[in-house]
């Protein structure tokens, strides 16, 4: 994969994987979500939001791998099938880094069990900002 400005290039060989949990296009699209800024495209920006998905730097790959695998899980139809497919990920996924497979599989499993799995993935990887309360100064 090579990334340049607003483009992501994926080699054809990446499509030839036998891994049922792998989708390299979704993986690269997830990276674009934490790279691109909505204001550069004339879109509404929420207060405190800089990027489409403000993913914490240490979770960039976790976010991309979880999105990649979960995109395959949601294709399974009903909830029971999705959960069953997600349960087999740790043994069945062959293209994910061995050092991260447990964390990715656990996150995908939580997402498969949830009503909104995408929200589970987002909440587990985004930067959590501390809300500041306005302090009133008391004068006498």
C-beta of residue 107 within 8 angstroms of C-beta of residue 68:
no
What is the number of other CB atoms lying within 10 angstroms of the CB of residue 35? 16
The residues of the chain scoring below 70 in pLDDT are 1-15, 129-140
CA 17 to chain centre: 20
Q: Which of 2, 21, 18, 22 is nearest to 10 (CA)?
A: 2
- For residue 108, the model assigns a pLDDT of 96
Angle at 95 between CA 91 and CA 97, to 5 degrees: 85
C-beta of residue 24 within 8 angstroms of C-beta of residue 17:
yes
C-beta of residue 120 within 8 angstroms of C-beta of residue 104:
no
pLDDT above 70 as % of the chain: 80
Q: What is the pLDDT of residues 89-126, one digit of tens each?
A: 999 998 888 899 999 999 999 999 999 999 999 999 98
pTM assigned to the model: 0.79
């Amino acid at each position: 994969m090579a990334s340049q400005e607003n483009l992501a290039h994926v080699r054809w060989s990446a499509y030839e994987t036998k891994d049922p949990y792998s989708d390299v296009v979704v993986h690269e699209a997830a990276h674009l979500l934490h790279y691109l800024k909505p204001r550069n495209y004339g879109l509404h920006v929420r207060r405190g939001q800089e990027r489409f998905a403000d993913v914490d730097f240490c979770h960039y790959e976790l976010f991309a791998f979880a999105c990649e695998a979960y995109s395959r899980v949601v294709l399974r139809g009903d909830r029971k099938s999705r959960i069953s497919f997600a349960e087999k990920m740790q043994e069945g996924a062959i293209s994910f880094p061995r050092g991260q497979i447990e964390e990715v599989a656990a996150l995908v499993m939580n997402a498969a069990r949830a009503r909104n799995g995408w929200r589970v993935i987002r909440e587990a990887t985004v930067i959590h900002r501390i809300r500041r309360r306005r302090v009133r100064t008391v004068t006498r």
